[in-house]
Structure 1
Amino acid sequence: MTQITLLAGRVAPLPGSDRLSGIDKRPVDRPLMLGHQGFQGDEQADLRVHGGVEKAVHHYPLDHYAAWRADLGPLPLLDAPGAFGENVSTLGLTEADVAVGDIFRLGGALVQVSQGRQPCWKLTQRLGVADMARRVQGTGRTGWYYRVLEPGMVAPGDRTLRIDRIAPEWTLRRIWHAFYIDRLNPEELRGIAALEVLAEGWRRHALRRLESGRVEDWTKRLEGSA
């Protein structure tokens, strides 16, 4: 079990921009209802690529913050949880030991890991580091999303308890490695495409690579036009 910091945020302009985002999450001091679409009072600006049932909750390990401070130097946003737009922050869980399909009791709710987080240009804008989204993608320090199996109340200081594992061999780290490092490995891509507990969009990515033999161009998403 790991104790959580619970965060939420409203849509607002990104720093130095008139483009809207809900990435500015702040710790809350009260319980929030978690439904199938996410936490009550939490918002996303672009529902084409953020939010929804497969991205209802964003979990980012506080474990990574020390590495980011070492990489980037002192940045005020890295002094406390919320820099990466996360709803849940913990110590003791990372992409290396969390697998797609893992089921957690989160306060009074039941959630399931649906996919890793695919970084976008909004991280770059938020942190003011020119290639931040690429750094996140390249390191695998991405965080992950949950789908909600059973709604319930979640409070600051509640604990996450892993209660089941559907596909423990398919860690988030392994899937990240297949998508971003060993990118055209047919055996790994076939396994990902057949992984029923993985979000459908990521399964389609794997299938398209198998069929085309090519890797998608993520430039627009990383640099600001998606």
Structure 2
Amino acid sequence: MSNHDKYLLKNFSIGLPKIMTYENEKQVETAICKEAVIEAFLTKNGFVGDGVADLKNHGGPDRAVCVYPFEHYALWEKEFGITLPKSTFGENITVTNMLEADVCIGDIYKLGDAVIQITQGRVPCSTINKRVGLPLIMKRMVETGFTGYLCRVLEEGNVCADSKITLIEKHPKAISVLFGNEVYFRRAKDAEAMKTLLSVEELAGEWKGYMTNRLAKLASS
């Protein structure tokens, strides 16, 4: 299999915030319920027609594109005995052969006419639980590290549902998204692991600040 056809775009979705009803008529404003599209233009701040409701925890140039591995859908469907809708996790692109263990912070890919770079693991929120009615799925995503990940846009461009994804450049430090997730979620006192993650200049700014603050607290304790 050549690099050109190794990665397959299984679903391409965007959406603006809207009211989602869950449980017994409770409501929340969220952009997690994205809808499949044929094409959209990708800017430095995300796809035109896409958005977030919680600007503090989502969105921005370091988190312009949300990616989720297609392979995890079968895992969650088997574990929870449910059929999941497309773009369950609010991701823009659902892809094959791009698992958290295999992609690295700083890796660069061509997506349609655009160029994107992986910046951090995705930090799941409870809206995922609400969307699918599974109170444990967010917890399981964190436990496994199967969270998906986020990207910045290096070059703007048009993306289509049948666009090719190709690897342009692997980051030389080869720090996987899965390792980053492990450090972020479970190794709060592992100074060396945090320093390793911080050694990747392309790491998202928010994660840099988070890890730097953790290290400062460890050093002063």
- Would you say same fold, with TM above 0.5? yes
Match for residue 63 of structure 1 among 66, 71, 89:
71
The match for 1:51 among 39, 59, 66 is 59
Within the candidate set 157, 160, 163, 1:152 is matched to 157
Asked if 1:95 is matched to 2:100, the reply is yes
Say which SS state the counterpart of residue 174 (structure 2) adopts.
Answer: coil
Task: Report the alpha carbon displacement of residue 207 of structure 1 after superposing the two structures with TM.
Answer: 1.5
Q: Which moved more, 1:60-69 or 1:161-170?
A: 161-170
Hey, what does 1:220 align to over in structure 2? none
Are residues 1:14 and 2:20 paired?
Answer: yes
- Is the 8 Å Cα contact of residues 173 and 200 (structure 2) preserved in structure 1? no
Runs of 4+ in structure 1 displaced over 3 angstroms?
A: none
Deviations 1:13-66 (A, max 9, x none): 1222332000001211x2210001111111211212111111111000111011
CA contact (8 A) 2:106 2:200 kept: no
Q: TM-score, normalised by structure 2?
A: 0.90
**Please, what is the CA RMSD of the aligned residues?**
1.5
Structure 2 gaps of 5+ residues are none
- Rounded Cα–Cα distance in structure 1 between residues aligned with 2:65 and 2:112: 13
Q: Which runs of 5+ in 1 are unaligned?
A: 215-226
- Asked whether 1:116 is paired with 2:124, we answer no
Distance (whole Å) between structure 2 residues aligned to residue 13 and residue 131 of structure 1: 22
1:112, 1:149 within 8 Å by CA — same for their partners in 2?
yes
Partner letter of residue 66 of structure 2?
H
CA distance in 2, matches of 1:162, 1:168: 16
Identical counterparts, % of pairs: 31
Any idea what SS the aligned residue of 1:83 has? coil
- Asked whether the 8 Å contact 1:62–1:91 carries over to 2, the reply is yes
Distance change in 2, residues 1:167/1:81 (3 Å): farther
| Contact 1:103–1:112 (Cα < 8 Å) also in 2 | yes
SS of residue in 1 equivalent to 2:171: coil
Q: What's the CA shift for 1:168? A: 4.3
Structure 2 residue aligned with 1:42: 50
Alignment partners' CA distance in 2, 1:203 and 1:187: 14
Query: How many residues in Structure 1 have an aligned counterpart in Structure 2?
Result: 210
- Map 1:1-226 to 2 at 5 A: 1=5, 2-4=7-9, 5-16=11-22, 17-28=26-37, 30-75=38-83, 78=84, 80-213=85-218
